[in-house]
């Protein structure tokens, strides 16, 4: 079937909604921080009237999400210098930047996050060093979790990766059984990382967020809603514009 008309945006109940066409089976609508912009991802074959009907049915939810995002505390602007507070696995740590070799090194000493880096390293270099460390921290924790939950959920993960993601904590491609996780999870409590791992692995069993999916989560992680709410209570840290 040839692609139908693909509007760049819709306006429903005075809400401007961007439309992105993707190779996918189902419609997906998200409200993204920090400004609450709305995006519908849709298969090529879905007609404009179907997109409008889908968005109209979600109007109340969209307004609620926009209100939640407006109520979120503003994230501090970080320079990645000594004295700033940077959470590690849910614990507040104070960043201590010290002169080191050209190859950056990050370590934890109690409640201090030590970044040894070249004395002339700029903000972008300091950010990249910490980002790489968070990615490695998350990866070291994810491997054992995936291995532990595979027999429990009765699934086999074909592969997984960690990278910085702007708006999502994780994603799953059920067809290939491949998972992706946000490196920012290394800043949150380990229990929240475990929830995201189980959430994405459960999508191999059930691709959508329907009742079956929620029942599956509840059976294996009864407090998943509380963990989800804790993750949603604070937006994902944004990378500096110059980094």
Q: Are 111 and 130 in contact (CB under 8 A)?
A: no
Q: How far apart are CA 192 and CA 99, in angstroms?
A: 34
State residue 220's pLDDT score.
96
Question: Can you tell me the distance from the alpha carbon of 32 to that of 174, in angstroms, rounded to the nearest whole number?
Answer: 23
Residues 6+ apart with CB under 8 A from 145: 193, 194, 197
Q: Of 9-23, 48-62, 67-81, 208-222, where does mean pLDDT reach its minimum?
A: 67-81
Q: What is the pLDDT of residue 173?
A: 93
pLDDT attached to residue 231:
87
- Selection from 11-15, 18-22, 109-113, 135-139 with the highest mean pLDDT: 135-139
For 10-57, how does the pLDDT look when each residue is reduced to its tens digit (9 = 90+)? 899 889 999 988 877 788 888 877 678 898 988 888 898 999 999 999
pTM above 0.85, yes or no: no
- The helix (run of H) or strand (run of E) holding residue 126 is helix 123-153
Give CATH 3.30.2010.10 domain extents, the chain: 85-232
Superfamily of structural domain 85-232: Metalloproteases ("zincins"), catalytic domain (3.30.2010.10)
Q: Are strands 112-117 and 37-42 parallel, antiparallel or unpaired?
A: unpaired
DSSP 84: -
Q: Which residues contact 41 (CB under 8 A, 6 or more apart)?
A: 20, 21, 22, 24, 27, 28, 29, 30
Which pLDDT does position 6 carry in this prediction? Answer: 47
* Contact criterion met (CB below 8 Å) for 80 and 97: yes
Give the other-Cβ count within 10 Å of 127's Cβ. Answer: 18
Distance, in Å, from the CA atom of 47 to the CA atom of 25, rounded to the nearest integer, reads: 14
Burial of 166 (0-12, 13-18, 19+ CB in 10 A): exposed
Crossing angle of the two packed helices 211-220 and 190-205, in degrees rounded to 10: 130
């Amino acid at each position: 079937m040839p692609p139908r008309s693909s509007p760049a945006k819709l306006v429903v109940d005075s809400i401007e909604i961007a439309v992105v066409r993707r190779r996918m089976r189902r419609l997906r609508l998200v409200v993204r921080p920090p400004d609450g912009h709305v995006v519908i991802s849709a298969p090529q074959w879905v007609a404009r009237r179907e997109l409008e009907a889908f968005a109209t049915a979600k109007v109340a939810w969209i307004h609620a999400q926009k209100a939640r995002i407006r109520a979120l505390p503003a994230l501090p602007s970080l320079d990645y210098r000594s004295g700033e507070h940077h959470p590690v696995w849910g614990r507040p740590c104070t960043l201590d930047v010290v002169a080191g070799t050209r190859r950056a090194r990050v370590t934890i000493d109690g409640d201090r996050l030590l970044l040894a880096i070249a004395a002339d390293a700029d903000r972008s270099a300091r950010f990249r060093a910490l980002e790489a460390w968070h990615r490695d921290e998350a990866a070291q924790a994810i491997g054992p979790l995936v291995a532990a939950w595979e027999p429990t959920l009765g699934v086999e993960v074909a592969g997984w990766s960690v990278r910085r993601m702007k708006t999502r904590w994780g994603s799953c491609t059920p067809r290939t059984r491949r998972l992706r996780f946000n490196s920012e999870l290394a800043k949150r409590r380990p229990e929240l990382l475990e929830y995201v791992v189980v959430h994405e692995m459960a999508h191999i069993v059930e691709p959508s967020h329907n009742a079956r999916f929620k029942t599956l989560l509840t059976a294996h992680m009864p407090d998943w809603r509380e963990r989800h709410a804790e993750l949603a209570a604070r937006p994902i840290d944004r990378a500096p514009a110059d980094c």
